[in-house]
Amino acid sequence: MADAPIYIHAGAHRTGTSSFQLCLHENRQLLDQQGWTTAYPGRDGIPSGELALRLPSGRRIDQKAAAAKAAGTLSAYRDGRPVILSEENITGRMYNFMQGQFYPFAEQRCVALRAAWDGPIAHVLLVVRPYDQLFVSAYRKRAEDNAMPDFDEVRDGYINIDRGWPELVQGIYEALQPDRMTVVPYSARGTNVDLLQRLVPNLPRDGLVEPERVVNKSATDAALEILQGHYRSGKKLSRDAWTGIIAAHADDKESRGIAVFSGKEKAALAARYASDLKQIEWMQQISFVSPFPAP
């Protein structure tokens, strides 16, 4: 018997995905009562998150084995009911940005995911963010847990990235073959409940609640300076020590220039983003949400 329809929130990174997954957690009982199965990971302390979807990365992939592994993970959510799945790592890792590559293995990962689910992919939703914001946020996020090169050493990779959102959107669409795909600019994202209703258009809004707490909040420059000092000296931090550093410097909002593009670089990235959004808007098979309010 074929799998039930699945509705996929495919991130992307640094677009409020953890907050959306917390929203699924807060509304899981109501969604269950309405006949939905929910699937999302437990990153960033999402209490009920159990999804551990592993998709392939690399130049040489055994797609059959990758699909079988993903199918095994998804078997826990095959209960005959439609599924709402949220996973930002469907596209791959942010690490590749520094190397001038924009999600280089996204299509391979999506091919494996498509093969792993026998039913229809009813809808895929992707939130996209301006490049300058995305790259800075990605660098800062990685700097919370890893020794990083100075931003000046990797900025060329960001500025000269090999492709962008239009190519990624087209690749995801062709690999997943969804009945529908929607692209939402970050500025038009709205609340988490708004996003949930975009993903599942006929979902009743009554009873749905917004999360009361913030998750995956970025560390300040002051905290990142201290963390980088530890990592670059080879020191490993316990989670309690790490949390303590983040919390102790949360109120110090002064910029130390940890990750900053010049005005000229920001303008160039903004122009590319605007052009790329227009390309996506012109894609006949894609539903595009305008980043500008209706007059």
Tell me whether residue 102 is exposed, middle or buried, using C-beta atoms within 10 angstroms of its C-beta: 0 to 12, 13 to 18, 19 or more: buried
- Residue 264 dihedral angles phi and psi, to the nearest 5°: -65, -40
At 295, is the pLDDT very low, low, confident or very high (cuts 50, 70, 90)? low
Tokens of 10: 């495919």
**Sequence-distant (≥ 6) Cβ neighbours of residue 19 within 8 angstroms:** 192, 211, 214, 215, 216
Query: Torsion over CA of 99, 66, 285 and 121, rounded to 10 degrees?
Result: -140
pTM for this model (two decimals): 0.95
> Does the pLDDT at position 268 exceed 80?
yes
Q: Which residues pair with 84 in a beta bridge?
A: 7, 38
Per-residue model confidence as pLDDT tens digits over 87-99: 999 999 999 999 9
Element (H, E) at 275: helix 263-282
Query: How is the chain split into domains, by residue range?
Result: 6-215+263-288, 219-261
Q: Which of 44-53, 55-64, 224-233 has the lowest mean pLDDT?
A: 55-64
Compute how many other C-beta atoms are within 10 angstroms of the C-beta atom of residue 148.
Answer: 21
Q: Which of 37-41, 62-66, 95-99, 182-186 has the lowest mean pLDDT?
A: 62-66
Q: How far apart are the first and last CA of the chain?
A: 48
The owner of tokens 């593009």 is: 261
- Fold of the domain built from segment(s) 6-215+263-288: Rossmann fold (3.40.50)
pLDDT at 44: 85
Q: If you average pLDDT over residues 32-57, what whole number do you get?
A: 94
> Does the pLDDT at position 217 exceed 80?
no
Per-residue model confidence as pLDDT tens digits over 52-81: 999 998 877 788 999 999 999 999 999 999
Per-residue model confidence as pLDDT tens digits over 107-124: 999 999 999 999 999 999
- E strand segments, the chain: 6-9, 37-39, 83-86, 121-128, 181-185, 286-288
Q: If you average pLDDT over residues 211-229, what whole number do you get?
A: 89
At 1, is the pLDDT very low, low, confident or very high (cuts 50, 70, 90)? low
